[in-house]
């Protein structure tokens, strides 16, 4: 099996309804972020901070019930979780900077993957341009986020909202294209 056959099978193996559902979820997320950008940032920080603190408390509970050899690592894990959770809640700007770094790294990796996929998909598939466009969009958006820095986080939320809407539209378009290809293969 050559690389072209692999990509054909990869695209056709995906259920079009799953791709469409992913697109719909991206659209809903995008609109939510556009309507409440400040609340989105605050909610993410608070949610993560609380999650980490609760995880730490649960690690202490698990340590109390663990065997002797496992208590130390669980106590240490609980202390780390609580420390991270409190740091997130007490110094939210640092959390936002880390979030920005993770988002940018994720977008760069996804953009490169989509561009590679675009070059591997045969022209006849018709979805080649969709993967290429999405890959370019991921990379351009990542560069834009880096240029904004920590001060543009509300704008970052708005851009993420627009990105999610754009990605949702692309995924829904891809779902229809995959469905069409699946129907041609079935016929």
Tell me the C-alpha distance between 40 and 18, whole Å.
Answer: 26
Average pLDDT (52-74) is 83
CA-nearest of 148, 178, 177 to 163 is: 148
28 in any annotated domain: yes
Which pLDDT band holds residue 77 (cuts at 50, 70, 90)? confident
Average pLDDT (166-176) is 89
Task: Output the pLDDT for position 136.
Answer: 93
84 in any annotated domain: no
Task: Output the pLDDT for position 150.
Answer: 64
Which pLDDT band holds residue 14 (cuts at 50, 70, 90)? low
121 in any annotated domain: yes
117 in any annotated domain: yes
Which pLDDT band holds residue 7 (cuts at 50, 70, 90)? very low
Percent of the chain with pLDDT over 70: 89
Number of compact structural domains in the chain:
1
Tell me the C-alpha distance between 70 and 88, whole Å.
Answer: 27
- Of how many residues is the chain composed? 187
76 in any annotated domain: no
Which pLDDT band holds residue 68 (cuts at 50, 70, 90)? confident
Domain extent at residue 127: 3-38+93-186
Average pLDDT (173-186) is 80
Residue 105 has pLDDT above 80, yes or no: yes
Q: Is pLDDT larger for residue 59 or for residue 86? A: 86
Collapsed DSSP state (helix, strand, coil) of residue 149: coil
Evaluate if pTM is beyond 0.95: no
- Phi, psi torsion values for 17, nearest 5 degrees: -70, -30
User: What is the DSSP annotation of 108-130?
Assistant: HHHHHHHHHHHHHS-GGGS-HHH
CA-nearest of 164, 145, 166, 165 to 155 is: 145
Tell me the C-alpha distance between 165 and 145, whole Å.
Answer: 17
Q: Are 171 and 2 in contact (CB under 8 A)?
A: no
81 in any annotated domain: no
106 in any annotated domain: yes
């Amino acid at each position: 099996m050559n690389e072209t056959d692999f990509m054909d099978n990869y695209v056709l193996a995906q259920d079009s309804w799953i791709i469409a559902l992913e697109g719909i979820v991206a659209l809903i997320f995008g609109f939510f972020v556009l309507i409440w950008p400040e609340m989105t940032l605050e909610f993410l920080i608070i949610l993560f901070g609380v999650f980490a603190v609760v995880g730490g408390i649960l690690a202490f509970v698990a340590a109390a019930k663990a065997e002797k050899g496992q208590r130390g690592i669980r106590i240490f894990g609980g202390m780390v979780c609580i420390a991270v959770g409190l740091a997130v809640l007490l110094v939210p700007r640092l959390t936002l900077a880390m979030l920005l770094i993770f988002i940018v790294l994720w977008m760069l990796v996804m953009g490169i993957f989509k561009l590679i996929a675009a070059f591997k998909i045969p022209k006849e598939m018709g979805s080649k341009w969709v993967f290429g466009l999405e890959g370019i969009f991921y990379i351009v958006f990542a560069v834009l986020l880096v240029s904004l820095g920590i001060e543009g986080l509300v704008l970052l939320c708005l851009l993420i909202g627009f990105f999610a809407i754009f990605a949702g539209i692309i995924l829904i378009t891809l779902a229809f294209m995959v469905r069409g290809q699946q129907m041609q293969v079935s016929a």
